[in-house]
């Protein structure tokens, strides 16, 4: 399949066949599936990777965060890339990079090679994530059908979440390398489906080099500081240097977005309540869910002596339940608006995390698996309405950019959780206190997001475009003369 097949005419016009909306949705769903699967499947395999390639807790953190960090840092430009070259072409390019990097991960001869391939994998995932939502936005013009399509898209992540831990544990029985080769046939199928999707419009969007470089520096330095603090201590010179670099790069980024001619994150997006709340909820969800999976994957294997497969099975009740909750959350949002499922979901996660923190020591593994259920229910209940709220809260031409901002907040939450929680459990003598503190921090994040969700207006629940954030809905096109006369006569 040649890459020009993913392109669209310049200037926003689309010519040729209309394509099949179902093909676009299926390709987007599979893309989201492999992105989510790759994050969870790696967590369970971390001890096996360390046994084979060496490295301590710091190395394991970079195996996870190398992917997540590049994912988060490039998502901002990836949203603009979607608008610039068209969602279809950008998604296809990202998918090719992701699949090739997955093969490189599976063939990695040492830990630095694996981390390097994970960085490239994260770059491919960054191009895929916002463009997958943009594909859905283009394929479904009706807000109700779009909301249901987004819910089905979220099912891809839910199924990956359910299958990830078990697939990782089972694959590790053969070799941890198998977990990366799983992406190859799935990616090939997604590319075939993408060929039947409609061509995407494109528009000329300048590249914000200062913003992108400063974003990468800020996120990378912040993650480095958190990871190094666990091994070298919070007062280590490299930790302070990385912290200062984070602050300096963040200041440059904000100034570039406020004063630059072509910011990749238009600050006007952040002036709307629904967009800010959606980004906060995405950050909290990823910090809580993926942070918890990371620390418990290590805890169950290193502290309790479980095998990789048994560890994966411990996550099954939570992840399987999440797969069933995802489709129901869209119906709840249609009936009650996004505020109810978002708030309830975040508070459910808070309760589950607090229970896990309080009863951790001496609790049987099967009981821990059951105590994870509120976390497994809360996240899937909140995330599909959160995503649909974001998509319906911005004009169609800014969907790619807004999706990049939203998913950057999500991935940054996951990266910081792995970095901070990993630092807290790095000292084996204080592993359990560090694990408890990690869960309490995650609970604080979800509690804050749930409280912020209370400020969503009930009117933002409806599928009518623009109501949620005060962005005016597009004006209706003028009626043809004959139809206008007919309407007037009525």
| Residue 353 scores a pLDDT above 60 | yes
Question: 80: pLDDT confidence band, cut at 50, 70 and 90?
Answer: low
pLDDT one-digit tens code per residue, 209-228: 888 888 888 888 888 888 88
- Kindly state the average pLDDT of the residues 289-312: 86
330 vs 382: which has the higher pLDDT? 382
Residue 79 pLDDT class (50, 70, 90 cuts): low
**How much is the pLDDT for 459?**
45
Across 100-104, 188-192, 306-310, which has the greatest mean pLDDT?
A: 100-104
* Residue 200 pLDDT: 61
- Greatest mean pLDDT among 72-81, 102-111, 157-166 lies in 102-111
| Structure tokens that stand for 194 in this block | 């993408």
294 CB-near residues (< 8 Å, 6+ apart): 43, 64, 417, 418, 421, 422
Q: Say what percent of the chain tops pLDDT 70.
A: 84
Q: Is the pLDDT of residue 248 over 50?
A: yes
Could you give the angle at the alpha carbon of 329 between the alpha carbons of 314 and 179, nearest 5°? Answer: 40
**pLDDT, position 347:** 95
In the predicted structure, residue 465 carries a pLDDT above the cut 60: no
| Cβ(326)–Cβ(380) below 8 Å | yes
Q: Give me the mean pLDDT over the 165-172 stretch.
A: 82
pTM: 0.74
pLDDT of residue 99: 93
Q: Is the pLDDT reported for residue 107 higher than 70?
A: yes
Percentage of the residues of the chain whose pLDDT score is greater than 90: 15
Mean pLDDT is lowest, of 203-217, 305-319, 425-439, for 203-217
Which pLDDT belongs to residue 97? 93
pLDDT of residue 205: 62
Question: Does the pLDDT at position 407 exceed 60?
Answer: yes
Give me the pLDDT at residue 441, please.
93
For range 13-29, the mean pLDDT: 68
Q: How confident is the model at residue 1 (pLDDT cuts 50, 70, 90)?
A: very low
Domain residue ranges of the chain, discontinuous segments joined by +: 19-198+264-466
Q: Give the CA count within 13 Å in the CB-facing half-sphere of 258.
A: 7
What are the pLDDT digits (tens) for 447-462?
999 998 888 876 444 4
pLDDT of residue 276 exceeding 90, the answer is no
Q: Which of 9-13, 36-40, 49-53, 122-126 has the lowest mean pLDDT?
A: 9-13
Tell me what pLDDT residue 120 has: 93
18 pLDDT band (50/70/90 cuts)? low
Please, what is the average pLDDT of the chain?
Answer: 79
Residue with tokens 């999500």: 410
Q: What is the mean pLDDT of residues 315-326?
A: 79
The CA distance from 346 to 351, in Å, is 9
Distance CA 223, CA 418 (A): 9
pLDDT at 400: 64
Instruction: For residues 53-58, give the mean pLDDT.
Output: 78
Region 19-198+264-466: CATH code: 1.20.1250.20
pLDDT at 69 over 50: yes
């Amino acid at each position: 399949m040649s890459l020009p097949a993913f392109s669209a005419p310049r200037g926003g016009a689309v010519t040729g066949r209309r394509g099949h909306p179902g093909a676009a949705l299926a390709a987007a769903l599979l893309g989201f599936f492999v992105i989510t699967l790759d994050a969870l499947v790696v967590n369970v395999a971390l001890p096996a990777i360390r046994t084979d390639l060496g490295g301590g807790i710091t190395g394991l953190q970079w195996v996870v965060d190398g992917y997540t960090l590049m994912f988060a840092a490039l998502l901002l430009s990836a949203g603009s890339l979607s608008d610039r070259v068209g969602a279809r072409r950008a998604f296809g390019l990202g998918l090719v990079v992701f699949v090739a990097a997955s093969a490189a991960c599976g063939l990695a001869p040492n830990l630095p090679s694996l981390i390097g391939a994970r960085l490239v994998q994260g770059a491919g995932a960054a191009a895929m994530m916002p463009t997958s939502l943009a594909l859905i936005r283009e394929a479904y013009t009706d807000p109700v059908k779009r909301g249901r399509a987004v819910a089905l898209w979220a099912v891809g992540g839910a199924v990956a979440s359910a299958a990830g831990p078990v697939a990782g544990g089972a694959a590790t029985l053969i070799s941890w390398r198998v977990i990366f080769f799983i992406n190859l046939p799935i990616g090939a199928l997604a590319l075939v489906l993408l060929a039947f999707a409609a061509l995407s419009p494109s528009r000329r969007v300048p590249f914000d080099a200062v913003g992108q470089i400063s974003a990468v520096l800020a996120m990378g330095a912040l993650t480095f500081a958190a990871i190094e603090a666990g091994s070298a201590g919070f007062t280590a010179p490299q930790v302070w240097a990385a912290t200062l670099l984070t602050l300096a790069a963040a200041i440059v980024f904000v100034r570039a977005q406020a004063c630059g001619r072509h910011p990749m994150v238009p600050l006007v997006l952040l002036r709307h309540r629904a967009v800010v709340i959606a980004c906060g909820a995405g950050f909290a969800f990823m910090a809580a869910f993926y942070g918890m999976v990371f620390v418990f994957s290590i805890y169950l294997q290193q502290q309790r002596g479980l095998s990789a497969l048994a560890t994966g099975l411990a996550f099954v009740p939570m992840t399987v339940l999440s797969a069933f909750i995802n489709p129901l959350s869209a119906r709840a949002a249609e009936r009650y608006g996004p505020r109810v499922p978002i708030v309830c979901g975040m508070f459910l996660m808070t309760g589950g995390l607090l229970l896990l923190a309080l009863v951790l020591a001496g609790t049987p593994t099967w009981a821990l698996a059951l105590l994870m259920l509120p976390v497994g229910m809360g996240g899937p209940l909140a995330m599909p309405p959160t995503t649909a709220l974001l998509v319906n809260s911005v004009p169609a031409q800014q969907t790619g950019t807004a999706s990049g901002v939203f998913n950057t907040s999500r991935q940054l939450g996951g990266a910081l959780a792995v970095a901070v929680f990993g630092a807290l459990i790095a000292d084996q003598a204080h592993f359990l206190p560090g694990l408890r503190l990690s869960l309490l921090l995650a609970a604080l994040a979800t509690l804050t997001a749930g409280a912020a969700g209370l400020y969503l207006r009930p009117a933002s629940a409806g599928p009518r475009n623009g109501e949620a954030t005060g962005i005016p809905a597009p004006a209706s096109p003028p009626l043809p003369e004959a139809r206008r006369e007919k309407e007037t006569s009525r």
